[in-house]
Amino acid sequence: MRNKQLRELAVCGFEAVRALADQHPERIQRLFFTQDRARFFGSVCKQLAAKKRVYRSVSDERELEKLSGSVHHQGVVAMIAEPEVPLLDSATASIFAERKTAALLLDHVGNANNLGAIIRSAAFFGIDTIVISNEDEQAKISTSMYRVAQGGMEFVNLWRTQSTQWLLDELRGKMSRIGADHRSKHDLLSLSTLINPNNGALIVLGNEEIGLSPETKASCDYLVRISGCGAIESLNVAQAATLFLHAVSGLRT
């Protein structure tokens, strides 16, 4: 939930707030928690006190519901400055290529919970670069996304691109551009043979309903499917992302 007057975003969920407090305590502007959660946030409360920032225990959980806009606050809410996702430029995209980065490009992934789950998986596998499309349909940073990411937001770098096509063109020949498509002839098990060992890898995942657009598919070096038994056509985008992230992380070890 956003406080538009103060330009704040509520981060709720125990794991999300604990990771925020551990990794980036300076970002917390106000902190509220139930009495049973107080013992986990003693250190960050001292830092907030030193900066004369507000923190306190609440006696009525409805206050946390009001702050976060959710009943899933898990006893703690941190208010942070409303995050801004930086716009990717050519120079930064070139750095990704030079460092042989493994990155995710999310093309119109519209569900905030899916975005949060993808970020959680990326953090788990040590893939710290995620690029989202800049269109209105693309899910943005939100309270629910933070909560579902379970602290993963503190371990990834989120960028936005002016368009999916721009980034794919920018990285042509510089990174292996791999699109997820359940109709592809290439299976995920063959991923190691498709990625140029001298390049980084850009995994491209599409919208929950329609997948990748024809234009995006045409701009990928390869399209890759996740094979199943055939009972269900495809996986949810967050599930698919987890498998791709696992495969890419294995290529880096």
Nearest to 176 by CA among 157, 150, 203: 203
Nearest to 209 by CA among 131, 110, 125: 110
What integer pLDDT is reported at residue 180 of this predicted model?
97
On whether both 124 and 51 belong to a single domain, the answer is no
Which residue, 47, 81, 115, sits at the end of a domain?
81
Which residue, 60, 81, 102, sits at the end of a domain?
81
On whether both 35 and 97 belong to a single domain, the answer is no
- Looking at residue 71, which CATH number applies to its domain? 3.30.1330.30
181-184 CB contacts, 8 Å cutoff, 24+ apart = 181/211, 181/212, 181/217, 181/223, 181/224, 181/225, 182/211, 182/225, 182/226, 182/233, 182/234, 183/223, 183/225, 184/222, 184/223, 184/224, 184/225
On whether both 65 and 96 belong to a single domain, the answer is no
Which residue, 54, 81, 108, sits at the end of a domain?
81
* Total domains present in the chain: 2
Tell me the C-alpha distance between 54 and 48, whole Å. Answer: 7
On whether both 98 and 44 belong to a single domain, the answer is no
Alpha-carbon 64 to chain mean position: 24
Nearest to 131 by CA among 98, 100, 166: 166
List the chain pLDDT tens, one digit each, 253 residues. 676 667 999 999 999 999 999 999 999 999 999 999 999 999 999 999 999 999 999 999 999 999 999 999 999 999 999 999 999 999 999 999 999 999 999 999 999 999 999 999 999 999 999 999 988 889 999 999 999 999 999 999 999 999 999 999 999 999 999 999 999 999 999 999 999 888 899 999 999 999 999 999 999 999 999 999 989 888 999 999 999 999 999 886 5
What are the residues whose beta carbons fall under 8 Å from the beta carbon of 68, sequence distance 6 or more? 1, 10, 12, 77, 143
What integer pLDDT is reported at residue 1 of this predicted model?
66
What integer pLDDT is reported at residue 3 of this predicted model?
66
On whether both 115 and 35 belong to a single domain, the answer is no
On whether both 9 and 59 belong to a single domain, the answer is yes
On whether both 73 and 97 belong to a single domain, the answer is no
Q: Which domain holds residue 50?
A: 2-81
On whether both 95 and 69 belong to a single domain, the answer is no
- Looking at residue 148, which CATH number applies to its domain? 3.40.1280.10
On whether both 115 and 141 belong to a single domain, the answer is yes
Q: Tokens 């498998």 map to which residue?
A: 243
On whether both 100 and 50 belong to a single domain, the answer is no
On whether both 112 and 216 belong to a single domain, the answer is yes
On whether both 176 and 66 belong to a single domain, the answer is no
Tell me the C-alpha distance between 69 and 2, whole Å. Answer: 9
